């Protein structure tokens, strides 16, 4: 490392999960998750010059990989903890997945959501048995309501990604890829808070250290890209991107994995993301979220990085509003 890029030594965060936690997580959550299929596409292989393997977490329980981490957290609780339930703030896939996992264990789940969140998302949480607690659409209101709920119920907080149980759960996804495909040259996943990318780093460091882990991010919300280059966490307030699962910033545990293990953070522009999304629907016949298209868009933008390689691509989720497809909205 040259003096110009020397970085101060960072303290290792407490409670980092290790590979033994991934093994335990996989045993623990097996009855509650799908072992998702891996699809290939000659078209995409021809377009990229790489051999791509798409791990279809859009087919996962509750429609996204988040069911892995949420199930691991919920089924790690003691009976005493479980009786008080779990709580989180997430209007996206984590809230839904935590509600799903809590429903499987038969315990309460409180999901704090802005009252302005789309009704179908609230209905989906309730459909799995979770309770939606509405707050105002501001960070201060969210934190106040969340604190009140936890004080009242004693519920266990399960953070969407900065939680060792969640990271270990997400790590089972790339563990399955390794079991099914052997040691890939690279794995690429979208990065928001970094739970999936961290889990991938964790599994690959144990199973296949030579496998490069790439993170893919919208240019319009490039906080992980900037963090990676500056050597410290960069967070934005409210970035605007079609990939709405990728707006949140890194936190200390996921930053640790990104900083120490990720090969690079690659960017894709909004039009590239939408084009890759549509192409995947058309050619692979799967319904997936805009976030999932970011890795393919990044591969198409950086063909020389991937040509000739065996590359795993994580399709992270499939919960998309079929009334508002990005290529049909002006």
Binding span for a second copy by CB under 8 A among 139-147, 166-174, 200-208, 319-327: 319-327
* Binding to a second copy, residues 257-296 (CB under 8 A): 278, 281-282, 284-288
- Cβ closer to a second copy: 11 or 327? 327
Q: Does 178 bind a second copy (CB under 8 A)?
A: no
Binding span for a second copy by CB under 8 A among 89-97, 234-242, 299-307, 318-326: 318-326
Burial (CB count within 10 angstroms: exposed 0-12, middle 13-18, buried 19+), residue 127: middle
What is the nearest approach in angstroms of a second copy to the Cβ of residue 323? 7
- Cβ closer to a second copy: 41 or 174? 41
- Cβ closer to a second copy: 87 or 314? 314
Calpha distance 223→215 (Å, rounded): 12
Calpha distance 239→237 (Å, rounded): 6
Identify the residue whose tokens are 């459909």. 127
Which sign does the torsion angle of CA 268, 271, 277, 279 carry? negative
Q: Where are the beta strands (DSSP E) in 152-203?
A: 156-157, 186-190
What is the nearest approach in angstroms of a second copy to the Cβ of residue 309? 22
Q: What is the DSSP string of 74-95?
A: HHHS-HHHHHH-EEEE-SSHHH
Q: What is the DSSP string of 249-265?
A: PP-HHHHHHHHHH--EE
What is the nearest approach in angstroms of a second copy to the Cβ of residue 172? 19
What is the nearest approach in angstroms of a second copy to the Cβ of residue 62? 11
CB atoms within 10 A of CB 181: 15
- For residue 113, the cross-strand partners are 134
What is the nearest approach in angstroms of a second copy to the Cβ of residue 50? 19
What is the nearest approach in angstroms of a second copy to the Cβ of residue 90? 20
The size of the interface with a second copy (CB under 8 A), counted in residues, is 19
Calpha distance 136→111 (Å, rounded): 14
Binding residue for a second copy, selected from 58, 71, 172, 200, defined by CB under 8 A: 58
Binding residue for a second copy, selected from 79, 80, 237, 323, defined by CB under 8 A: 323
CB atoms within 10 A of CB 66: 33
* Binding to a second copy, residues 38-57 (CB under 8 A): 39
Residues that bind a second copy (CB under 8 A): 37, 39, 58-59, 63, 278, 281-282, 284-288, 318, 322-323, 325, 327-328
């Amino acid at each position: 490392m040259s003096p110009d890029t020397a970085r101060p030594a960072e303290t290792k965060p407490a409670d980092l999960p290790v590979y033994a936690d991934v093994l335990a997580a996989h045993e623990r959550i097996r009855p509650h998750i799908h072992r998702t299929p891996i699809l290939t596409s000659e078209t995409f292989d021809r377009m990229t010059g790489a051999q791509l393997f798409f791990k279809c977490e859009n087919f996962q329980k509750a429609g996204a990989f988040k069911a892995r981490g949420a199930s691991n957290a919920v089924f790690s609780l003691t009976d005493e903890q479980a009786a008080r339930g779990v709580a989180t703030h997430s209007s996206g896939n984590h809230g839904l997945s935590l509600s799903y996992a809590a429903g499987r264990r038969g315990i309460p789940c409180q999901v704090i959501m802005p009252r302005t969140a789309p009704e179908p998302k609230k209905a989906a949480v309730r459909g799995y048995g979770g309770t939606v607690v509405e707050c105002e659409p501001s960070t201060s209101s969210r934190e106040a309501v969340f604190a009140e709920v936890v004080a009242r119920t004693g519920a266990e907080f399960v953070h969407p990604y900065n939680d060792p149980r969640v990271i270990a759960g997400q790590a089972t996804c790339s563990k399955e890829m390794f079991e099914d495909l052997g040691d890939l040259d690279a794995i690429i996943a979208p990065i928001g808070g970094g739970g999936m990318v961290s889990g991938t780093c964790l599994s690959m460091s144990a199973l296949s250290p030579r496998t490069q882990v790439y993170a893919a991010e919208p240019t319009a919300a490039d906080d992980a890209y900037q963090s990676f280059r500056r050597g410290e966490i960069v967070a934005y307030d409210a970035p605007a991107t079609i990939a709405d699962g990728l707006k949140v910033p890194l936190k200390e545990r996921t930053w640790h994995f990104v900083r120490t293990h990720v090969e690079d953070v690659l960017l894709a522009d909004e039009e590239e993301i939408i084009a890759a999304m549509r192409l995947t629907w058309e050619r692979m016949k799967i319904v997936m979220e805009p976030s999932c298209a970011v890795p393919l868009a990044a591969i198409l933008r950086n063909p020389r990085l991937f040509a000739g390689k065996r590359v795993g691509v994580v399709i992270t989720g499939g919960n998309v509003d079929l009334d508002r497809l990005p290529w049909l909205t002006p």
